[in-house]
Amino acid sequence: MFGLDRLGALADSKHAWGWLFFSALGLELTALYFQYGMGLEPCIMCIYQRTAVFGVMLAGLVPWLANNFITRVVGFVTWGVSAIWGLLIAIEHVDIQTATNPFFASCEIVPNFPAFMPLHEWVPQMFAATGDCGDIDWQFLTLSMPQWMIVIFAIYSALFGGVLLSRLLVRKAL
């Protein structure tokens, strides 16, 4: 049986952090395929979700390269913030897409990145928003892309919560 102790032990494994990194990398590559291969233009909410996935990717990369207490703390904080922020953004995106009055449900046109890190200017191929948040251009199994992102970020958030709680409650260490 997969108990809390085994769940908490995952953070000690470089392989588990590698899986976190590569799962997020796969999502980023998929997003680029949707954008450049299928011609789907990302909106500002898509860009924010893409940024959150990059956060999850970074969260897995740091402990995967060097797994110690410091890198695990950085990994856990980055993972938690990115997964939960991404979930909230995806929920907001679905709210925009399903609003009964689209006039009141809109999103920004230019990303609101910090002034010290204008990703949309540095790497516009990945972070420039050219689509409309209200458009539903793609669906799979009746779910739109932001609805799938709710599922994905919910999984990342649940895994984060489970691993962190098992580390703190059972193993009593990060």
Catalytic hit among 50, 72, 167, 171: 50
Q: What dihedral angle (degrees, nearest 10) is formed by the CA atoms of 28, 32, 110, 105?
A: -80
Identify the DSSP state of 16.
H
* Active site annotation includes 6: no
Identify the DSSP state of 42.
P
Catalytic hit among 46, 72, 167, 171: 46
Catalytic hit among 6, 107, 167, 171: 107
* CB proximity list for 139: less than 8 A, separation 6 or greater: 145
Please state, in angstroms and rounded to a whole number, the distance separating the CA atoms of residues 73 and 62.
10
* Active site annotation includes 171: no
* Active site annotation includes 43: yes
What tokens were used for 111?
A: 């990303």
Catalytic hit among 72, 133, 167, 171: 133
* Active site annotation includes 107: yes
The closest alpha carbon to 41, from 123, 113, 117, 128, belongs to 128
Q: Positive or negative CA dihedral for 31, 79, 48, 119?
A: negative
Catalytic hit among 43, 72, 167, 171: 43
* CB proximity list for 20: less than 8 A, separation 6 or greater: 56, 57, 59, 60, 64, 79
Would you name the residues annotated as active-site residues? 43, 46, 50, 107, 133
